[in-house]
Amino acid sequence: MTAQPYAVTVPRGYRVGSWEVREPLASGSFGSVYGARRTGDGAPRRAALKFLPTGTHTPRQLNHLRELAEREVELLSRLRAPRLIRMYEALTVDDPEHPELDGATVLVLEEARTSLDALLDSGVPAQAPELLAEVCEGLAQLHDAGWVHGDLKPANVLVMADGSVRLGDFSMAAELEGTHAYAPAFSTPDYTPPELVWPEVGERGRQIRASADIWAFGVLAHVVLTGSYPLPGGTAAVRRDATVRYALGEEELRLSPQLPDGWRALVRDCLAATHQERSAHQARALLGRIRRLTGAARTRRPLLPSRRKPSRRAGWAALSSAAVFAAAATVYALWPEPSVTYGYHRCPAGEVCFFSDVNGNGEMCHWAGDDDDWLRGRTRCAWSGDRPVKSVFNNNQERTKEISVAYWRGPGFVPTGVEPERDSERAGCTSVNQQGNLKGDYKLRSHSWIPRCDAEDAHPGPTVSESNL
Amino acid sequence: MHSLDSIIVVPPHCPGPGHQLRLRPGEKLAFGRAVEGLAIDHEGVSRHAGEIAAQGAFWILSNLSRTQTYVVENPEGAGEHIKVGPGRLDAPVPFEFARVVLPAAGELLSFEVWAPRHDHLPRHSDALDGTETLPAFSLDPAKRYFAVLAALCEPRLRGAPHAPVPTVEQVVERLAPGWPAASRATVQWNIDYLAVKLRLKPPAEQAGPGPRLNGKKEALASLALRFDLVREDDLAVLPCAVRQEAGVRQEAGR
């Protein structure tokens, strides 16, 4: 068992903001995570509290911990995507009577069931290819928004109650400035690409690129699918030397024979020796390849029955590379072509955003509250007068009630005369943290926040995220 | 230094860093009177005297001489050394700094080999399994360079976050009680070595606007403080408490 230098001990029943600490969940590299429940009204009822020992009175006055905490808070407040763990809020403990806690940063996060690391303790998971597809999707969402994770490994992949996964622990994450980003000088040896084994470090940290995450994904895929590291050796130092020899061309890459067919080429591409070779394989393209490997049918997890008629417009995409999300008749195309770019990250936290083009591109109108007429009133959305909404992102994680947003073709929350055959009068509804393209004609005039898209929904609360399956 | 280099060989009478030889893991360097590699121009040295090979973070020495024993000294080890007998191949050398001494017709010739990538157990962690997030640097608190780094960081660690970094002379003075041989040259040598060891990137010529650290010392101190390579409790490696502070305490006690 590893010593936990940065563990924070928090007593059961301890109150932080509106949260009451329950059981300890895990101790990570730089802090401790506890389960917690909300003391007042509102949703979600439970969350995971990550305590980072950043206090001014903590015995260890650690500068870098503050920097790491700031990085994670910054990324999670600015970037929301379905495959990234969600942060509801960030708090600072103000409690002079507990000097070891006073000043600690607390990240209130979506509660996960376990981590991929813990899942791997019981062998190769049965649903390994699907898990990897979701991890890769998380990377694609992160990279599309211009960030590098910097520390991708099984311990930082969280498994949710529904079995889906999300990326977590963004303390090493960095925003790309052009082709590279500056990340703290920390790394996990077995997931570090050759060029970062002994990185140069400047005043702003070490330079990393998105291709570092691709290498880490290759290692992770090999570990998940075979239970072993791709580079040989009994200790991390020997595996590091093997990595260096491989990068110098002195040793071949010998992947495990247990690696399923089809995955071999993909893992080999992720583990290309140089950044230049690896950068030809971007996360979004890898995701497309994984989808083809796993087969579209198996990747659709039918949590909700589809009540939607087949759409002619969705066409081939809906059949082979698109999954269908059907709650309240809103349809999202999910696996677009590899080369697309995304604009969802422009959407401010705590608001709903409607876009004039697919994938969060084009013009954007956004609201924190309701609007009964998009063409009049305080917030005007001029383009919606003659153009339909092509994509939507409900980025309202600040709200604790009325977390879904319903929208109508007419002003005043009513349909217009030409409402097509729909189960409900509204044009559609999007749950919290969902984003996607709207297939069909969504020329909208009003929207309103409601508790949930489907009152009979068996999957309540804000953690429902079928749109990204 | 290329990011994959792990061993640095400093030839005898080396005029500067540009003449140092760098090895990557697996690379070999021959030395002797008539070799491509490290030529040692002395009649008393064998034509093919020996070979150095980088192995991961350490290196191995082969003695190709039939008659002479080579000695590898640890210059910071108070006489610590190993002997590599004639014909011995691939002897592992455990020192971060080493001086290879070759007897040559009554004279002793030497060159240095550095292994700046040595690994050390991270503080506050016993992680060895490769899955823990670890600092990118590995420092040995028992080495002189660590004391030099601590001295550079001391004013800021003692609560003056914007204090200027001590000058080389001040560092010499600070370390002299515990290190009588400390001099401008030895301190500067350790500063240069730290820049190699911490893989300090020379600041880009066209860096953006804003204040820039202009010296190696400043860059080392800010890197060390940013990543907590030296912390307040590490100041114990310095010879004694700061005199000024002691004086203040005495006055307060009266």
| Per-residue pLDDT, A270 | 97
Question: Which chain B residue has the Cα nearest residue A3?
Answer: B125
Using a CB-CB cut-off of 8 Å, the residues of chain B touching A2 are 125-127, 129, 132
| Per-residue pLDDT, B7 | 95
The verdict on a CB contact (< 8 Å) between B133 and A186 is yes
Sheet with A15-16, side-by-side order of all strands = A15-16, A19-27, A32-38, A46-52, A105-109, A87-92
Distance from CA of A136 to the nearest CA of B (A): 20
The verdict on a CB contact (< 8 Å) between A5 and B125 is yes
Give the largest CA-CA distance in chain A.
72
| Per-residue pLDDT, B99 | 95
Q: Chain A within 8 Å of B26 (Cβ-Cβ)?
A: yes
> What sign does the dihedral A179-A181-A182-A187 (CA atoms) show?
negative
| Per-residue pLDDT, B170 | 95
Distance from CA of B143 to the nearest CA of A (A): 20
| Per-residue pLDDT, A313 | 34
The kind and range of the H/E element at B92 are strand B91-93
d(CA B254, CA B242): 19
Distance from CA of A144 to the nearest CA of B (A): 25
- Characterize the bridge pairing of strands A19-27 and A15-16: antiparallel
d(CA A456, CA B243): 75
* B132, B194, B205, best to mutate vs chain A, most A CBs in 10 Å: B132
* A201, A222, A231, A243, best to mutate vs chain B, most B CBs in 10 Å: A201
Using a CB-CB cut-off of 8 Å, the residues of chain B touching A29 are 132-133
Give burial (CB, 10 Å; 0-12/13-18/19+) of B161. Answer: exposed
| Per-residue pLDDT, A289 | 94
Q: Packing angle between helix A283-294 and helix A210-226, nearest 10 degrees? A: 20
| Per-residue pLDDT, A29 | 67
The verdict on a CB contact (< 8 Å) between A240 and B203 is no
Burial A155-190 (b: 16+ CB within 10 A, else e): bbbbbbeeebbbbbbbbbbbbbeeebbbbbbbbbbb
| Per-residue pLDDT, B241 | 57
The verdict on a CB contact (< 8 Å) between B56 and A235 is no
Using a CB-CB cut-off of 8 Å, the residues of chain A touching B212 are 203
The verdict on a CB contact (< 8 Å) between A247 and B4 is yes
Residues 6 or more apart in contact with residue A380 via CB below 8 angstroms: A374
Using a CB-CB cut-off of 8 Å, the residues of chain A touching B125 are 2-3, 5
Q: Which residues in chain A come in under a pLDDT of 70?
A: 1-5, 29, 56-62, 296-341, 417-424, 455-469
Residue A455 corresponds to which tokens in the numbers above? 């009152």
Centre a 10 Å sphere on the Cβ of residue B140 and count the other Cβ atoms it contains. Answer: 14
| Fold designation for A114-296 | Transferase(Phosphotransferase); domain 1 (1.10.510)
d(CA B150, CA A294): 54
Q: Which residues in chain B come in under a pLDDT of 50?
A: 1, 205-213, 244-254
The verdict on a CB contact (< 8 Å) between B128 and A61 is no
Show contacts of A365-368: CB within 8 Å, 24+ apart: A367/A447, A368/A396
Distance from CA of A297 to the nearest CA of B (A): 34
Q: Chain A within 8 Å of B215 (Cβ-Cβ)?
A: no
Q: Packing angle between helix B168-175 and helix B144-157, nearest 10 degrees? A: 110
CATH level 2 (architecture), domain A15-109: 2-Layer Sandwich (3.30)
Q: Tell me the residues of chain B between 138 and 197 that have a Cβ less than 8 Å away from chain A.
A: none
Domain ranges of chain A: 15-109, 114-296, 302-469
| Per-residue pLDDT, B250 | 40
Residue B245 corresponds to which tokens in the numbers above? 């502070």
Using a CB-CB cut-off of 8 Å, the residues of chain A touching B57 are 237
| Per-residue pLDDT, A335 | 35
Nearest in space to A253 (alpha carbons), one of A273, A277, A226: A273
- Scanning the structure block, which residue is given the tokens 């495959």? A83
Cβ proximity of A335 and A291 under 8 Å? yes
Q: Chain A within 8 Å of B56 (Cβ-Cβ)?
A: yes
Using a CB-CB cut-off of 8 Å, the residues of chain A touching B213 are 203
The verdict on a CB contact (< 8 Å) between A236 and B128 is yes
Centre a 10 Å sphere on the Cβ of residue A451 and count the other Cβ atoms it contains. Answer: 12
d(CA B95, CA B28): 18
Residue A218 corresponds to which tokens in the numbers above? 């290759």
| Per-residue pLDDT, B16 | 77
| Per-residue pLDDT, A455 | 58
CATH for A302-469 (3.40.50.970, 3.90.245.10, 3.40.190.10, 2.60.20.10) = 2.60.20.10
CATH for B7-114 (2.60.200.20, 2.40.50.100, 3.10.20.30, 3.40.50.2000) = 2.60.200.20
**Nearest CB to B227; choose among A64, A188, A238:** A64
Distance from CA of B214 to the nearest CA of A (A): 11
Q: Chain A within 8 Å of B228 (Cβ-Cβ)?
A: yes
Cβ proximity of A290 and A136 under 8 Å? yes
d(CA A120, CA B192): 45
| Per-residue pLDDT, A126 | 85
pLDDT in tens, B178-210: 898 899 999 999 999 999 899 887 655 434 444
pLDDT in tens, A390-423: 999 988 877 778 888 999 888 888 777 555 555 4
- Scanning the structure block, which residue is given the tokens 């590299």? A29
Domains A15-109 and A302-469 share a fold: no
| Per-residue pLDDT, B203 | 57
Strand, helix or coil at B142? coil
Question: Which chain A residue has the Cα nearest residue B225?
Answer: A63
Domain ranges of chain B: 7-114, 144-253
Using a CB-CB cut-off of 8 Å, the residues of chain A touching B231 are 60-62
d(CA B11, CA B21): 8
d(CA A450, CA A445): 17
Q: What does the H/E/C string look like for chain A?
A: CCCCCCCCCCCCCCEECCEEEEEEEEECCCCEEEEEEECCCCCCCEEEEEEECCCCCCCCCCHHHHHHHHHHHHHHHHCCCCCECCEEEEEECCCCCCCCCCCCEEEEECCCCEEHHHHHCCCCCCCHHHHHHHHHHHHHHHHHCCEECCCCCHHHEEECCCCCEEECCCCCCEECECCEEEECCEECHHHCCHHHCCCCEECCEEEECHHHHHHHHHHHHHHHHHCCCCCCCCCHHHHHHHHHHHHCCCCCCCCCCCCCCCHHHHHHHHCCCCHHHHCCCCHHHHHHHHHHHHCHHHHCCCCCCCCCCCCCCCHHHHHHHCCCCCHHHCCEECCCCCCCCCCHHHCCCCEEEEECCHHHCCCEEEECCCECCCCCCCCCCHHHHCCCCCEEEEECCCCCCCCEEEEECCCCCCCCCCCCCCCCCCCEEECCCCEEEECCCCCCCEEEEECCCCCCCCCCCCCCCHHHC
| Per-residue pLDDT, A224 | 96
